[in-house]
Chains A and B, each alone.
Chain A
Amino acid sequence: MTTIKKLLKNKPLIVLLAASVVVAIINPRFLTWGNILTVLRQTSINAVIATGMTFAILIGGIDLSVGSVLGFCGAIAAAMISSGINVFVVVITALMLGTFIGFLNGTLITAGRLQPFIATLGTVTLLRGLILVFTKGRPISTGSTGASEAFGKIGTGFIGPIPIPVYIMIVVFILAYYILNHTRIGRYIYATGSNEEATIYSGIKTSRVKLFVYSVSGMTAALAGILITARLGSAQPTAGAGYELDAIAAVVLGGTSMAGGVGTIAGTAIGALIIGILNNALNLMKVPSYYQDVAKGIVILAAVLLDRKQKLSR
């Protein structure tokens, strides 16, 4: 009984379940195994980005550059693959590149004392420009080398009945959960977000915490870039534009406070699923495309408002 009560308190989960039930009633195809896998695979990219975004929002910051990091690292990965470089090397390089860009964001925020919003906004434009310079404005195909085939598996392959991106998403969630709940840096992330000054007074270098967090955010964005490029077999110069907003929406839907300090990775997972299901369901229910954004906006606002009301009435 207590577990049920606990679950009932979890607003994001309830929204998720309620939405699923409604969609399943309207279109029974929603609950087919194939469609469930589709939703999970579609969600994986946003979920991976949202995991890094959760870290950034938990410390009271934000990372607007994730979409551009995704595009940039994806383009670099595609170029390397098309010239036949080993997949393993490419993946590691792209992840390190994303981590490095995140680290630079963190440096701008800590050493440069810029607002996270401003710093990462700057990175967005800078990286978009670099992507265009690098790709000369053209999509980069991963080509048809042996490497590209192996690389493509990351996005399109299956292990057993389940798509590989879904495994990757789950691994990312588990790692993030462990970091946030069972390591020192995780504790410091919550502390920094709750009360940075008190954290500094507790003898913790919050600038190091921030560098870590933005590096993680950069790395997850790069991972999403790898997934998307592998999935599509090509890196688009415009890839990832606007993805930061979906990631932020997932984090907020998951109950994480934009003010920092409060939130869980499980919440983000549910938030990302809600958005994924919403996208899929609106298509399945044949909602005309102009109305889809309206519907998404309303659902996000309604969920957040209800959550907020609940918190205020305490």
Chain B
Amino acid sequence: MKRFLSLVVVTLMILSMFAGCSTNENVTNEEAKTIGLAISTLNNPFFVDLEAGAKAKAQELGVTLVTLDSQDDSATEMSNVEDLINQGVDIIMINPTDSDAVKSAVEAANKANIPVITLDRGANGGEVVSHIASDNVAGGKLAGEYVIELLGGKGKVVELEGIPGASAARDRGQGFNEAISGTDIEVVAKQTANFDRAEGLTVMENILQAQPEIDAVFAHNDEMALGAIEAIKASKRDILVVGFDATDDAKAAVESGEMAATVEQLPKEIGSMGVEAAVKILNGEKVESMMPVDLQLVKK
């Protein structure tokens, strides 16, 4: 019996402790509208920024924001959206882990008559009121066009790919390859370095061994680009590197001339615009069904 009590007490303590961790949103006035955000991951600075942008905007507009982390797993995302529905949020913003797999989640929200906004990645099904994103394909194109410009439309390039199967890797690659197709620029090597700086270094080292002639590298993110730069520096060869994401490290590298350019997305802007649109929808106003967020090339 003693053990039973201690068990109950411990469980109570743990659960209430974590309930205490929740922000004091639940004590704000009853009329405040609640926006649910199912975000693909909070393990990546980009999405952390996206959430931060949304949070700041929510505070500014006086609405409650509940964020759930899908941990890059479609089934978790599904569960999170269901939980948001059960919680009775007024509108749901989904930053999908995958455009196909999010369909059921969107449909579930539709069924419960809760409007859905998608952020950064779209949904291939269900009814979405508005989609807010910076287009990764467009970003890849931007990078490709800049490489064409720098090389004068002719040369040999290496493409460092992200995690196989990740949509960012697919879209950025697609945009880049669309841009360079039809020019005299040839992709001489294409390998994955899993969005990882250390892998970017080793993969690039191997490619440098294999390819006597390389004019430029396009990496699907800055981490890999920075790894590649280290490899190139060690080989003492002169190769242009273009990255993606515009992280602080990458911007510094562009500033110092080590990196040719990086494509900058504005994640905070995506989050902020999402909340803005959500509030408009809740107030019965019309919003655009597609809201592109600016992309820009950071170069010296």
Interface residues of A (CB under 8 A from B): 8, 11, 14-15, 18-19, 22-23, 26-27, 29, 32, 34-35, 38, 41-42, 45, 132, 135, 137-139, 141, 155-156, 228, 231-234, 236-239, 241-242, 279-292, 294-295, 298-299, 302, 306, 309-310
- A232-B104 in contact given A19-B11, A132-B164, A287-B18 (Cβ < 8 Å): yes
A283 in contact with B15 (CB, 8 Å): no
A49 to B17, CA, bound (A): 31
User: Which interface class (under 10, 10 to 19, 20 to 34, 35 or more) fits B?
Assistant: 35 or more
Q: Are B11 and A302 in contact (CB under 8 A)?
A: yes
Is the pair A18, B7 in contact by a Cβ cutoff of 8 Å? yes
Contact yes or no, B15 A19, CB < 8 A:
yes
Question: Are B78 and A232 in contact (CB-based, < 8 A)?
Answer: yes
Q: Shortest CB–CB separation between residue A224 and chain B, in angstroms? A: 10
Contacts of B99 in A (CB 8 A): 139
Query: Chain B: residues with CB nearer than 8 A to chain A?
Result: 1, 3-4, 6-8, 10-12, 14-19, 21-23, 25-26, 42, 66-69, 72-75, 78-80, 82-88, 97-101, 103-104, 124-125, 164-166, 169-170
Residue in chain A with minimal CB distance to B102: A232
Residue pair A8, B165 in contact (C-beta under 8 Å): no
A-B pairs, 10 with minimum CB distance: A289-B69, A237-B165, A137-B165, A234-B100, A137-B164, A283-B83, A286-B22, A232-B101, A295-B18, A35-B86
Interface of A is mostly: helix
Report the minimal beta-carbon distance from A249 to chain B, rounded to whole angstroms: 15
* Main DSSP-derived SS at the B contact region: helix
Q: Are B74 and A232 in contact (CB under 8 A)?
A: yes
Which residues of the partner chain A approach B87 to less than 8 Å between Cβ atoms? 27, 29, 283-284, 286
Beyond the given A238-B72, A238-B73, A280-B86, please list 20 additional residue pairs across the A-B interface where CB-CB is below 8 A: A19-B11, A35-B86, A41-B82, A137-B170, A232-B75, A233-B104, A236-B97, A236-B98, A237-B164, A237-B165, A279-B79, A283-B84, A284-B86, A285-B15, A286-B66, A290-B69, A291-B18, A292-B18, A306-B7, A309-B3
Select A289's contact among B7, B25, B68, B72, beta carbons within 8 Å.
B68
- A287 contacts which chain B residues (CB < 8 A)? 18-19, 21-22
